[in-house]
Chain A
Amino acid sequence: MIEAALFQGLSWNPIDDVRQLLLFPFMVNALEAGTIVAVMAGITGWFMVLRRQTFAGHTLSVIAFPGAAAASLAGLPLAVGYFSFCGLGALTLAGISGSRRSYSGESAAIGSLQALALALGFLFVSLYHGILNGLNSLLFGTFLGITTGQVTTLLVVAATTVALLAVAARPLFFASVDADVARARGVPVRLLGFGFLLVLGLSVAATSQITGALLVFALLVTPAATAHRITCRPFLGVALSVAIALAVTWIGLTLAYFSVYPVGFYVTSLAFALYIVVRIVGALGARHPLVHVRVEPA
């Protein structure tokens, strides 16, 4: 039945197409989950790009994979594995970036942590043979098997992370843009940094249940990077980042529904294409008002 719907193709009648898109509950769930994930990733990602923690974010998203594998090995719900491993990962990363000032030492430590996480994930997967067929979906996710329960969990997590970020937005922004001045003004820079990594871990864990451990990153970094290229104003930037993430997710899901290729491909390609276009426009119109002014953290 699903196959039949998939191969019906586009009728180019928008109303019919939308009706067909919403015909099956799995697709409605996928669209809801995609929307929640996009909003959350757009906001968290904007701060991540601002703080130049792309590598840390990627490592957190990779850590979700051994979490899921360990949970299935132990017979626990996947969500337990995702959240506990991402929380642990955030703690470790905060320890790494707190204890060492040298950037190259930090990047070696983060890289090692990430490799260890992947190696553990592979170990768990090979210990638990049954999951091997599901490995691709653990890594690359599936938008198509989302239950209503997962959507509810996702909504709760998203509301929590967005609320936390909203509360801490002003001091976090200050600490990210100029850590030294912020510290001198009494802003708890280290605490904020640690808290942000936890929030990042939380949203990555929630997202990777849907998009897979490897593709969270596409929604976290590329829309935010594009937004940072277009504007340096924080509120506009966050709004843009969310808007881009939403558009990319919706279009990507729709395209994947009407074709045989995976959703991850469409989402990443659309986001990257937009990023490239914005860079080219920025490079061409040096006097253009849209030209970005990069906010460099100290």
Chain B
Amino acid sequence: MKYFFYFLFLTFFHGYSQNGVITYESIIISDNSTSEKSKKKLFFNEKASLYRDPIAVSSDKKDGETTENRSTKTIPINENTTSETIRITYTPHDPDGFQYYFDTKTNEFTCRELLFSFAKKEYKPYIYTDSYAGKIEWQLKNEFKNISGYQCQKAVADFRGRIYTAWFTTKIPLPYGPWKLNGLPGLILEVYDETGTIYLVAKKIEIPKDVDNLLKKPTKGTRIIFREFVEKDSNKSDEITKALKARLPKGGKIISTKTENTGKFELEYEWEKG
């Protein structure tokens, strides 16, 4: 009788530990920097998912992901030279990077993001809880496409100022997806926003794969309320674009008030709408 119990316990445990990794390719194209192509991993089990940069210890680093780490520059010699650009890319040297942890129990994201401090010229990690993100209202469309043999249905949602089109398949019955995009009755294989700035696609699916030791809520960083984090972030980037604009030469007409596509994922927030 005792043995039977053990056996039961084992099957039980096994049943609930179906886990795996989805490798996504993330292509972010913004107007003022290089198009960024990188690999991200989505670790999951039945209870949670974690979307983040691949962990650097493995040999993953070599297979193609490039984080732009070069700074190119053209130096203006005088007012008349038209070449004016200086591109600066600060690369965070933080091994934990950006992380998005989703807990199915609370339906909440715990996120770790880095903010650049212009004063200190370095990135600082913050951790916040995003409770709205797990509740995206997807509209299902009667449109399908085939991705590598998987029939995918189209779903559309407006999430924080961008309209996303997601292609998901019920053949892989996971409610997960890349970044903060999830909550469909099947895995999101491809998702992009209307402007084409953001493009995320699943490239590799490995189920099962033991990732339970990696699947942890991010902890290294300063705890902050989401809204405060957003304010901190937007102040910074506004400041940069304004500073650039105010530094145009006299010939450079002060006409364009078009907000530039900076490759930011989130453009507006729930509390900003009326």
- State whether these chains interact: no
Binding site for B on A (CB under 8 A): none
